[in-house]
């Protein structure tokens, strides 16, 4: 064997070793990811005693019966109302996602397509606003909501999403790369109004970016705990994460199986949605990537 | 200028920005200003909206701020927040970079990256509240899954209460935070690497750079902007940590070892004492800390060459003007 061949051989062997290491680490992390979900499912159909005996076993004596009983426990004790939480979270997340992506696209379009005096200043302001964490506004927002009667109103959680600086920032990145002013010009020559151009030409062009940002906005809104916890005190207005936090309460302290079922119920819809849309999330984030 | 024709349309730029500006002023700017103002007043008590500025009731204007800064509990909460953030961020960015390097490596072509990416991102979509309670049950005392497992491995072992001891609590919270965010960070970084022109990598390969060299000398400098974005958003999110420590441990358990700044603020304002003024002062302090740290990050990670070019251009302009 010549020297070169030996070298090539050792590079190849190193490659195989590296690949094996990569797969082992990835599989360990995959198991780590799936572990909590397996635990959730496996304990949702057990009795409290079975959970106490072994959280890690997958076997139960009467799974169907236990599932029914656990469902009865979580839906009958009053405070944790999964269906009400679902409905409220669905309303809040859907409406705020629509407002978020539509008005963010509009604002991004205003910054990208038009030359106006305060454009640069406005753009800089949006970048700065991204840094204001939502929680810092909470004390003032609560006082303000209290004054104008927005406490316990779902709209207090929906309307603020009209101004979503992070989404505007991403949308602008996307528009700068993909919007050609020629299309807009030709639509103008055809006599279309500016607003109509935006709705019928620009919005369809932005579909991929809108899809990605809509998923982020939806998940963010669905999972939000801090502001709903402060703004919503009425049991019939609470969103799902606030309902979940009730599972921590004393009345469920010994109902282990029921708690796992309650948690599973809050997770399932997100998993189902994710199964269908994960492609957009994982590939689509590239759209929002800062181009350097 | 290519946009001369657009000048007529300038007003639409303003019109289309109106909804954003309105919503921003009502729901962000006004509350922020209000929070600042409350910090200087005597506003407290449930449902109270009447207040006076502190000097009007014979107190120092900065009394609330001084009270907060003096309070041992605030310092402890802030320290806890920082420690947990750092313990989660270092492994988070580390593993995210490692997976990014592996998944985007042109030479080894790992199979199944799509599936791994989807799996690793999954914890991020799950409600943090759910995650927190799940982990609380797993680390439960005396019969949580972890205690059960260790009991099986080592018969006769006494169960350990993880959630009341300073170090284990912080480690568990940091782990949940890491678990939820490493995939998100990885996906962001991968997106950045995909955006780098392949020619650069080809050139490096031809020049004989090995994988490690390529990654540290080419990939990382090229994704600096995204690293900055990840760092700043993670810092803001980390200093605002709330859901996981609140539901995993809560304010009452664990001897306060898991109280973060945001939990401290919420307890002041909405838990019994309704000290809106002091809570407002605390959140203003938190805000200023975030702005200061973000500014430092932006300064440290700024594009030095670009800044130089800008400076040169400005100098040229000035010289040209003087010349005229």
- A171 and A209 both lie in a single domain: yes
Mean pLDDT of all residues in A37-59: 84
| A131 contacts in chain B (CB < 8 Å) | 232, 236, 290-291, 294
| B225 contacts in chain A (CB < 8 Å) | 290, 292
Q: What is the pLDDT of residues B7-16, one digit of tens each?
A: 468 888 899 9
Q: Which of A11, A14, A140, A212 to mutate to test the interface with B (most CBs of B within 10 A)?
A: A140
Q: Please tell me which of the candidates A118, A141, A289 has its beta carbon nearest to residue B195.
A: A289
- Residue A9 confidence (pLDDT) above 80: no
| Domain covering B73-274, topology | MetI-like fold (1.10.3720)
Cross-chain Cβ contact A146/B47 below 8 Å: yes
User: What total number of domains does chain A contain?
Assistant: 2
Mean pLDDT of all residues in A249-270: 81
Q: Which residue from B minimizes the CA distance to A138?
A: B31
pLDDT bin (cut points 50, 70, 90) of residue A285 is low
Q: What is the pLDDT of residues A74-117, one digit of tens each?
A: 877 767 788 888 899 999 999 999 999 999 999 999 998 888 88
Q: What is the pLDDT of residues B162-171, one digit of tens each?
A: 888 888 899 9
- How confident is the model at residue B175, as a pLDDT? 94
Q: Please tell me which of the candidates B32, B33, B226 has its beta carbon nearest to residue A289.
A: B226
Question: Which residues have a Cβ under 8 Å from the Cβ of A154 and sit 6 or more positions away?
Answer: A88, A91, A92, A237
A205 versus B90: the higher-pLDDT residue is B90
- Residue A282 confidence (pLDDT) above 80: no
Pick the last residue of a domain from A52, A75, A98.
A75
- Residue A1 confidence (pLDDT) above 60: no
- A166 and A67 both lie in a single domain: no
A48 in Cβ contact with A257 (< 8 Å):
yes
Q: Considering the domain boundaries, does residue A285 fall inside one?
A: no
Q: What is the pLDDT of residues B181-196, one digit of tens each?
A: 999 889 888 877 877 7
Q: Considering the domain boundaries, does residue A276 fall inside one?
A: no
Cross-chain Cβ contact A137/B134 below 8 Å: no
- How confident is the model at residue A292, as a pLDDT? 32
Q: What is the pLDDT of residues B231-283, one digit of tens each?
A: 888 888 888 888 889 888 877 776 778 889 888 888 888 877 788 888 889 98
Pick the last residue of a domain from A75, A94, A116.
A75
CA dihedral angle for residue A120, residue A125, residue A128, residue A129, rounded to 10 degrees: -150
Q: Residue B22 phi/psi, 5° resolution? A: -60, -55
The CATH code of the domain that includes A197 is 1.10.3720.10
pLDDT bin (cut points 50, 70, 90) of residue A135 is low
CA distances from B309 to A161, B169, B319 (A): 38, 49, 15
Q: Considering the domain boundaries, does residue A197 fall inside one?
A: yes
Least reliable range by pLDDT among B16-30, B125-139, B171-185: B125-139
- How confident is the model at residue A145, as a pLDDT? 85
Cross-chain Cβ contact B149/A113 below 8 Å: no
A61 versus A7: the higher-pLDDT residue is A61
Mean pLDDT of all residues in A34-38: 88
- Residue A231 confidence (pLDDT) above 60: yes
User: Above pLDDT 70, what percent of chain B?
Assistant: 95
User: Above pLDDT 90, what percent of chain A?
Assistant: 21
How high is the mean pLDDT of chain B? 85
Q: Considering the domain boundaries, does residue A84 fall inside one?
A: yes
A126 in Cβ contact with B273 (< 8 Å):
no
- A132 and A163 both lie in a single domain: yes
A266 versus B324: the higher-pLDDT residue is A266
- How confident is the model at residue A283, as a pLDDT? 67
- A131 and A71 both lie in a single domain: no
Q: Considering the domain boundaries, does residue A67 fall inside one?
A: yes
B323 versus B289: the higher-pLDDT residue is B289
- Residue B90 confidence (pLDDT) above 90: yes
Structure tokens given for A140 = 């003032």
- How confident is the model at residue B188, as a pLDDT? 81
pLDDT bin (cut points 50, 70, 90) of residue B45 is confident
Mean pLDDT of all residues in A32-59: 85
- How confident is the model at residue A8, as a pLDDT? 67
Q: What is the pLDDT of residues B205-224, one digit of tens each?
A: 888 888 888 888 888 888 88
- How confident is the model at residue B228, as a pLDDT? 83
Q: What range defines the domain where residue A242 resides?
A: 79-246
Structure tokens given for A60 = 């139960």
Q: Which residues 58-87 of chain A have a CB within 8 Å of chain B?
A: none
B302 in Cβ contact with B116 (< 8 Å):
no
B173 in Cβ contact with B69 (< 8 Å):
no
Give, as one character, the DSSP assignment of residue B105.
-
B292 versus B109: the higher-pLDDT residue is B292
CA A217, CA A208: separation in Å to the nearest integer?
Answer: 14
| Domain spans, chain B | 73-274
User: Cα–Cα–Cα angle for B26, B27, B31, nearest 5°?
Assistant: 90
B48 versus B129: the higher-pLDDT residue is B129
Q: Please tell me which of the candidates A18, A110, A244 has its beta carbon nearest to residue B127.
A: A244
Structure tokens given for A246 = 């009730």
CA A122, CA A64: separation in Å to the nearest integer?
Answer: 58
pLDDT bin (cut points 50, 70, 90) of residue B124 is confident
Cross-chain Cβ contact B122/A159 below 8 Å: no
- How confident is the model at residue A4, as a pLDDT? 65
Cross-chain Cβ contact A292/B24 below 8 Å: no
- Residue A241 confidence (pLDDT) above 60: yes
* B111–chain A nearest CA distance, Å: 9
- A95 and A240 both lie in a single domain: yes
- A19 and A33 both lie in a single domain: yes
- Residue B56 confidence (pLDDT) above 50: yes
- A4 has a chain B CB within 8 A of its CB: no
* Closest-CA residue to B233 (of A151, A292, A95, A130): A130
CA A218, CA A202: separation in Å to the nearest integer?
Answer: 22
- A192 has a chain B CB within 8 A of its CB: no
Give this complex's ipTM: 0.80
Q: Which residue from A minimizes the CA distance to B148?
A: A54
Mean pLDDT of all residues in B114-128: 87
pLDDT bin (cut points 50, 70, 90) of residue B98 is very high
End-to-end CA distance of chain A: 47
Task: Return the SS3 of A24.
Answer: helix
Mean pLDDT of all residues in B147-160: 84
- A91 has a chain B CB within 8 A of its CB: no
Mean pLDDT of all residues in A171-179: 82
- A21 and A164 both lie in a single domain: no
- Residue B76 confidence (pLDDT) above 60: yes
Task: List, as one string, the DSSP characters of A189-206.
Answer: HTT--HHHHIIIIIHHHT
- How confident is the model at residue A3, as a pLDDT? 64
- A122 and A206 both lie in a single domain: yes
A123 in Cβ contact with A58 (< 8 Å):
no
Least reliable range by pLDDT among A218-227, B43-52, B97-106: B43-52
Pick the last residue of a domain from A58, A75, A92.
A75
Cross-chain Cβ contact B191/A132 below 8 Å: no
Q: Considering the domain boundaries, does residue A108 fall inside one?
A: yes
- How confident is the model at residue B254, as a pLDDT? 64
- Residue A279 confidence (pLDDT) above 80: no
- How confident is the model at residue B6, as a pLDDT? 46
Cross-chain Cβ contact B120/A18 below 8 Å: no
């Amino acid at each position: 064997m010549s020297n070169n061949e030996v070298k090539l051989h050792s590079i190849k062997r190193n490659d195989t070793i590296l690949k094996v290491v990569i797969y082992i680490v990835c599989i360990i992390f995959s198991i780590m990811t799936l572990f909590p979900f397996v635990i959730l499912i496996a304990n949702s159909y057990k009795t409290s005693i079975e959970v106490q005996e072994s959280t890690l076993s997958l076997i139960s004596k009467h799974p169907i019966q236990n599932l029914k009983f656990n469902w009865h426990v979580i839906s009958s004790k009053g405070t944790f109302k999964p269906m009400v939480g679902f409905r409220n979270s669905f309303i809040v997340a859907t409406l705020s996602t629509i407002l978020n992506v539509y008005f963010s696209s509009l604002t991004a379009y205003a910054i990208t397509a038009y030359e106006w005096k305060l454009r640069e200043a406005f753009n800089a302001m949006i970048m700065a606003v991204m840094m204001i964490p939502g929680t810092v506004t909470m004390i003032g927002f609560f006082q303000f909501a209290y004054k104008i009667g927005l406490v316990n109103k779902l709209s207090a959680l929906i309307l603020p999403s009209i101004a979503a600086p992070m989404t505007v920032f991403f949308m602008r990145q996307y528009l700068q790369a993909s919007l050609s002013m020629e299309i807009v010009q030709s639509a103008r020559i055809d006599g279309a109004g500016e607003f109509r151009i935006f709705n019928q030409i620009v919005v369809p062009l932005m579909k991929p970016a809108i899809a990605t940002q809509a998923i982020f906005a939806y998940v963010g809104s669905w999972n939000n705990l801090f502001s709903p916890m402060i703004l919503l005190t009425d049991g019939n207005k609470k969103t799902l994460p606030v309902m979940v936090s009730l599972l921590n309460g004393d009345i469920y302290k010994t109902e282990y199986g029921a708690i796992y079922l309650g948690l599973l119920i809050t997770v399932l819809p997100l998993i189902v949605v994710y199964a269908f849309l994960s492609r957009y999330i994982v590939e689509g984030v590239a759209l929002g990537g800062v181009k350097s | 200028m290519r946009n001369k024709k657009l000048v007529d349309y300038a007003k639409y730029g303003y019109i289309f920005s109106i909804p954003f500006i309105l919503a921003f002023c009502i729901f962000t700017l006004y509350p922020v200003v209000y929070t600042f103002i409350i910090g200087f007043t005597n506003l407290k008590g449930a449902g109270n909206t009447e207040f006076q500025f502190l000097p009007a009731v014979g107190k120092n204007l900065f009394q609330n701020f001084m009270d907060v800064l003096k309070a041992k509990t605030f310092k402890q909460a802030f320290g806890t927040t920082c420690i947990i953030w750092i313990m989660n961020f270092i492994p988070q960015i580390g593993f995210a970079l490692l997976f990014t390097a592996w998944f985007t490596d042109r030479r080894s072509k790992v199979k199944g990256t799509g599936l791994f990416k989807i799996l690793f991102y999954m914890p991020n979509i799950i409600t943090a509240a759910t995650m927190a309670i799940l982990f609380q049950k797993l680390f439960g005392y005396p019969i949580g899954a972890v205690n059960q497992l260790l009991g099986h491995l080592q018969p006769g072992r006494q169960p350990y209460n993880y959630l009341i001891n300073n170090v284990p609590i912080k480690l568990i919270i940091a782990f949940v935070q890491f678990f939820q965010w490493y995939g998100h960070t990885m996906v962001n970084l991968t997106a950045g690497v995909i955006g780098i022109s392949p020619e650069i990598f080809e050139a490096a390969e031809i020049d004989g750079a090995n994988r490690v060299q390529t990654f540290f000398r080419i990939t990382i400098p090229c994704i600096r902007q995204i690293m900055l974005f990840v760092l700043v958003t993670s810092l803001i999110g980390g200093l605002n940590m709330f859901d996981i420590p609140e539901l995993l441990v809560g304010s009452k358990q664990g001897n306060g070892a898991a109280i973060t700044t945001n939990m401290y603020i919420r307890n002041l304002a909405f838990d019994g004492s309704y000290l809106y003024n002091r809570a407002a002062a605390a959140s203003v302090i938190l805000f200023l800390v975030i702005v200061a740290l973000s500014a430092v990050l932006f300064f440290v990670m700024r594009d030095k060459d670009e800044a130089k070019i800008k400076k040169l251009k400005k100098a040229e302009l000035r010289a040209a003007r003087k010349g005229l």
